[in-house]
Each structure stands twice: as C-alpha cells, then as structure tokens.
C-alpha cells in the first residue's frame, strides 16, 4: 500500500480570472454543469480557451453523452485537445449500467482518464482491472456521499486502501463541501482533492487560533451593524 504523501490540490471549476490569479494548485477539474455555470456556449471551443491558459498542469474535462459509441467519440476529441488533458468518464450511464467497456477501450488507446461520480467500493471493484497498471484518477464524490447521510470519510478510506493495494491509480476526493475536507481527504489517504476557488481561499485560515477567529467574527458583526446604521 502507498504511504500517504502530501495531497495534491486541484481547483474545481475556476473562471478565467481565477485560473490566472490562483497559482498554488496542482491541477484543474471541470464538468458540464461547471461549463454551463461559467457561461460556455460551445463545449470544445470553451475547453480550448481553458487549455490556452493552462499549458502543463492536468486538466480534467468530461464527456456528456449517454451511450458508449458517442462517449467514445467525445472522449477521443477531448483527449486530442492537449497532453495534459484527462478525460472524465462517469462510472455509470444514466440508466445505471456500467461504463466498463468504454473504459477498457479508452485504456487500450492510452487515453488519460478521470473516472468520476464514484460512490461505492463495489463500483471501484467493477472497473479497476483495466485501469490497475495506469496512473489514472478515480474521483469519489465524498460531499454527495455525506449528502445522503453516509460516512464519506470511511467509504473513501476503504476505497483508497483497496485502490492503492491493487493498482497504480490515484484517488481524488471530489464534491468538497467545506475547507475541513482537505484534512479529511489527507486522513483518508487521498492522492488528490479538488475544491472550489472560494474554498481554496478559505484554506488560508488554517493555523488561526479559535480565539483569534472568534474575535474576527465578532468584529465582522460589529462592522456590518455599524455600516448599516442600525439602532435599537
């Protein structure tokens, strides 16, 4: 099993200003929902614009089709956009069937992959065999696992233990909900965590004392009340 080393920090769905200004990251992740939020009109043109800003660090860009042939076509087009591109492939189609055959075809073509929307260890076991000799990424949606009332940290740790014992793949803590997820991901032996730009900025608060942050919080309340001209 891998010894846990310093976790890599990816930024999830940054806009162009954030790409240019937030430099202390190791990679980037996007999906169709984030492209929509960022105002993309043409998927590939927008992806090219992003990649013109990011020359070397890994960038994950997702397919959005819902059948094997179309996903394969999209994956090949996306992979050709740059050597630093990882093609995101959902673990399942919308009908619940596995994308295993698609993954097998893409591995044979030596495409960089980020298998996404993983929720369970069983899903990992189902698709890991063709990936085990690669350095591809397995993205576990920890925040969404928490959303349904399950212990995401335990599930992620079980997944990481299995993946690191049976493959060369990297595990990624995705769908982060709060800055503390960075610590949870480290403790769960994640190789990577992806976080929103806003959450990454909050990591700067790590190291403050509770008393110090308490005073800052009260000062904020006082300042807001004063600037609003409230009276009782």
Reported as a single tens digit per residue, the pLDDT across 10-31 is 999 999 999 999 999 999 999 9
Type and span of the H or E element at 71: helix 68-79
What total number of domains does the chain contain?
Answer: 1
Residue 134: inside a domain? yes
Token pair recorded at residue 225 = 């009340």
Mean pLDDT, all residues of the chain: 96
Neighbours of 105 (CB within 10 A): 16
Indicate if the pLDDT at residue 4 is higher than 60: no
Residue 100: inside a domain? yes
3-state DSSP assignment of residue 166: helix
CB 10 within 8 A of CB 195: yes
Residue 212: inside a domain? no
- pLDDT (mean) for 64-87: 98
Residue 230: inside a domain? no
Residue 220: inside a domain? no
CA nearest neighbour of 142 among 167, 120, 165: 120
User: What pLDDT, on the 0 to 100 scale, is given for residue 5?
Assistant: 63
Confidence class for position 142, pLDDT limits 50, 70, 90? very high
CB 161 within 8 A of CB 1: yes
Residue 231: inside a domain? no
CATH classification of the domain holding 190: 3.20.20.70
Confidence class for position 192, pLDDT limits 50, 70, 90? very high
Containing domain of residue 158, as a range? 8-206
From residue 110, give the alpha-carbon distance in Å to each of 49, 75, 80, 86, 105.
24, 12, 12, 11, 9
Confidence class for position 1, pLDDT limits 50, 70, 90? very low
Report d(CA 21, CA 44) in Å as an integer.
23
Q: What is the pLDDT of residues 212-225, one digit of tens each?
A: 999 999 999 999 99
Residue 28: inside a domain? yes
Report d(CA 8, CA 14) in Å as an integer.
17
Q: How far is CA 208 from the centre of its chain?
A: 26
Report d(CA 5, CA 21) in Å as an integer.
26
Indicate if the pLDDT at residue 146 is higher than 70: yes
Q: What percent of the chain has pLDDT over 90?
A: 97
CA nearest neighbour of 61 among 35, 41, 42: 35
Residue 151: inside a domain? yes
CB 101 within 8 A of CB 135: no
């Amino acid at each position: 099993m891998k010894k846990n080393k310093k976790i890599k920090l990816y930024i999830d769905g940054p806009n162009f200003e954030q790409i240019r200004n937030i430099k202390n990251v190791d990679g980037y992740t996007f999906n169709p929902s984030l492209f929509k939020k960022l105002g993309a009109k043409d998927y590939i043109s927008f992806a090219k614009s992003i990649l013109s800003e990011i020359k070397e660090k890994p960038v994950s860009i997702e397919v959005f089709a819902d059948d094997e042939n179309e996903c394969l076509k999209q994956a090949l087009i996306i992979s050709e956009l740059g050597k630093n591109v990882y093609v995101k492939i959902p673990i399942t189609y919308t009908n619940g069937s596995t994308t295993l055959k698609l993954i097998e075809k893409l591995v044979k073509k030596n495409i960089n992959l980020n298998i996404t929307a993983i929720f369970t260890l069983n899903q990992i076991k189902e698709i890991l065999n063709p990936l085990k000799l690669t350095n591809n990424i397995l993205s576990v949606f920890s925040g969404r696992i928490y959303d349904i009332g399950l212990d995401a940290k335990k599930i992620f740790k079980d997944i990481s233990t299995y993946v690191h014992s049976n493959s060369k793949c990297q595990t990624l803590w995705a769908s982060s909900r709060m800055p503390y997820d960075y610590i949870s991901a480290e403790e769960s032996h994640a190789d990577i965590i992806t976080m929103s730009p806003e959450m990454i900025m909050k990591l700067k608060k790590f190291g403050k004392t509770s008393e110090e942050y308490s005073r800052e919080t009260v000062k904020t309340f006082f300042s807001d009340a004063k600037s609003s001209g409230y009276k009782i």
